[in-house]
Amino acid sequence: MRPPAALRPSSALAGTLYLPRGADAAASAMTTYGVPLLVLAATGSAAWTGLAFALQWLPRIGAFTVAGTLTDRFGTARLFRAATLARAVVTLLAAGALAMADARSTVATVTVLLLAAVTGALTECSYVAAETAGGAASRAAGAQAHRVQSTLITIDQTATLAGPAAAGLLIEHGGPAAMLTTLALFSLLAAALGPRHDTAPVDRDTQRGLGAGWTTLRSLPALAWLVGGLIVSNGAVALLQAAVPVIVVTDLDHSSADAGLIWSAAAVTSLLAVTASRWAIDRWGLWPAGATAATVAAGATLAVAHADTYRGYFLLIAVLMAGEGGLAVVLRTVRSHVIPADVFGSTLAVTILLLLLPYPAAGLLVAALPTAHLGYAITTAALLQTIGLAIAFARLRRMPVMSA
């Protein structure tokens, strides 16, 4: 995807950046939240659903560094088109295979597990290409860079809002073929809208970049403590993302659409919390705003662990993601203050990789545990989240960056 060489009007960016980003974000959201629901519908097994969740995130983590190398070698536009086209082909092939296979057969199980792994890797590749293009567009926009980034964040949040509910409704009323066909159409639309020119490569030595990022992270206590606390917090969020489809459909006897609606509603509260957090940081500072968001997130997770109704999960997960939205603003602000410009990209990559690690682990845990024990696992994760965030913000309280 090609950013402008100089500042261009927003109408020009709409065609070259925003529209392909929107189509890709929609496909990505449907992949992230819809594939686990699809696995549950195809297998009826909590263990297979958890394994599929892990298979979806493990390739994403591995693809993160590979995608950076591919971007440098082939350019953002070529990687973006290749990843989105490949995702469309894979999903259409999976839709055909599931249409011919018997429900809950070995063929159906293998198909959806392979789908989870392959689409996870391809989605990460298209995301890295899109993020690279967005960063270059922001630099080209100069003083208007914040407008570019705010538009991209709004696109991503809107996709996160609509994607889970759309995936659930499509599976519920149209079956796997409807969801996979829609996902493929969004992928094809992204490939068609993406421009044909590439950005110039920035850093061809990915391994050196990650090493520099790790060294920088260790040298920045404020960022290291914050990332450490958020890794533990992400463990709780990841466990809920992996377990909630199983709990809602199997234990609470609700539909796949209802399971998707939980995360769509959570996206609304997260978006509102991002706006409120910016105001709170301006008024009271980083530490009070961050500590409040951490308290909200930890308290909501502890409450979710004892929820036994759909309404309880719906409301409490919305509150949890509001807290997570506030923490995300604090993390982005601290990163922008403390990471040196010459190693910003590599340090950012390391922080993202670390924050993603809990997701495949959560999927494997859900696959290994009986459904009846998921509540105990969520309670343990909630306690660890509370302790981790408490320690992190206690250490952060007197650090200079938190008074910014």
Higher pLDDT: 137 or 146? It is: 137
Question: Does residue 337 lie in a domain region?
Answer: yes
Residue 251 sits in the same domain as residue 165: no
Which CATH number belongs to the domain containing residue 344 in this structure? 1.20.1250.20
Higher pLDDT: 32 or 346? It is: 32
What pLDDT, on the 0 to 100 scale, is given for residue 274? 79
Give the 3-state secondary structure of residue 45: coil
Question: Does residue 2 lie in a domain region?
Answer: no
What pLDDT, on the 0 to 100 scale, is given for residue 75? 77
Q: Tell me: the pLDDT tens digits for 346-360?
A: 677 788 889 988 988
Last residue of a domain, one of 150, 178, 198: 198
Last residue of a domain, one of 198, 222, 238: 198
Q: 142: which 2 tokens? A: 């100069």
pLDDT band per the 50, 70, 90 thresholds, residue 77: confident
Q: Tell me: the pLDDT tens digits for 336-386?
A: 777 776 666 667 778 888 998 898 899 889 888 888 888 899 999 999 999
Question: Does residue 323 lie in a domain region?
Answer: yes
Residue 299 sits in the same domain as residue 194: no
Q: 336: which 2 tokens? A: 């922008």
pLDDT band per the 50, 70, 90 thresholds, residue 56: confident
Residue-range definition of the domain harbouring residue 245: 205-404
CB atoms within 10 A of CB 129: 31
**Position 3, amino acid:** P
Instruction: Please state which of the ranges 74-83, 179-188, 220-229, 329-338 shows the lowest mean pLDDT.
Output: 329-338
Residue 42 sits in the same domain as residue 165: yes
- Where is mean pLDDT largest: 20-29, 84-93, 252-261, 326-335? 84-93
Residue whose structure tokens are 């968001």: 293
Question: Does residue 1 lie in a domain region?
Answer: no
Q: What is the mean pLDDT of residues 87-93?
A: 95
Q: Tell me: the pLDDT tens digits for 389-404?
A: 999 999 998 888 776 5
Residue 277 sits in the same domain as residue 338: yes
Counted residue by residue, the chain has a size of 404
Residue 248 sits in the same domain as residue 322: yes
Residue 28 sits in the same domain as residue 166: yes
Q: What is the mean pLDDT of residues 287-314?
A: 93
* Exposed / middle / buried, residue 52 (Cβ in 10 Å: 0-12, 13-18, 19+): buried
Specify the number of domains making up the chain.
2
Question: Does residue 348 lie in a domain region?
Answer: yes
Q: Tell me: the pLDDT tens digits for 196-250?
A: 655 555 444 444 557 777 888 999 999 999 999 999 999 999 999 888 888 888 8
Residue 245 sits in the same domain as residue 158: no
Question: Does residue 218 lie in a domain region?
Answer: yes
Contacts of 230 (CB under 8 A, 6+ apart): 327, 331, 355, 392
Q: What proportion of the chain, given as a percentage, has pLDDT over 70? A: 84
Q: Tell me: the pLDDT tens digits for 235-287?
A: 999 999 888 888 888 888 888 778 888 888 888 888 888 778 878 888 888 89
* Exposed / middle / buried, residue 267 (Cβ in 10 Å: 0-12, 13-18, 19+): buried
Q: Say how far apart CA 139 and CA 280 lie, in whole Å.
A: 27
Q: Say how far apart CA 204 and CA 2 lie, in whole Å.
A: 18
Give the 3-state secondary structure of residue 73: helix
Residue 190 sits in the same domain as residue 316: no
Q: Say how far apart CA 365 and CA 47 lie, in whole Å.
A: 9
What pLDDT, on the 0 to 100 scale, is given for residue 301? 94
Q: What proportion of the chain, given as a percentage, has pLDDT over 90? A: 28
What pLDDT, on the 0 to 100 scale, is given for residue 9? 46
Residue 59 sits in the same domain as residue 184: yes
Residue 302 sits in the same domain as residue 320: yes
Q: Tell me: the pLDDT tens digits for 317-332?
A: 999 999 988 898 888 7
Last residue of a domain, one of 131, 164, 198: 198
What pLDDT, on the 0 to 100 scale, is given for residue 146? 46
Long-range contacts of 287-290 (CB under 8 A, 24+ apart): 287/393, 287/396, 287/397, 287/402, 287/403, 289/326, 289/329, 289/330, 290/226, 290/326, 290/327, 290/330, 290/393, 290/396, 290/402
Nearest to 298 by CA among 393, 367, 404, 402: 393
Residue 36 sits in the same domain as residue 14: yes
Residue 174 sits in the same domain as residue 314: no
* Exposed / middle / buried, residue 125 (Cβ in 10 Å: 0-12, 13-18, 19+): buried
Question: Does residue 52 lie in a domain region?
Answer: yes
Mean pLDDT of the chain: 82
Question: Does residue 3 lie in a domain region?
Answer: no
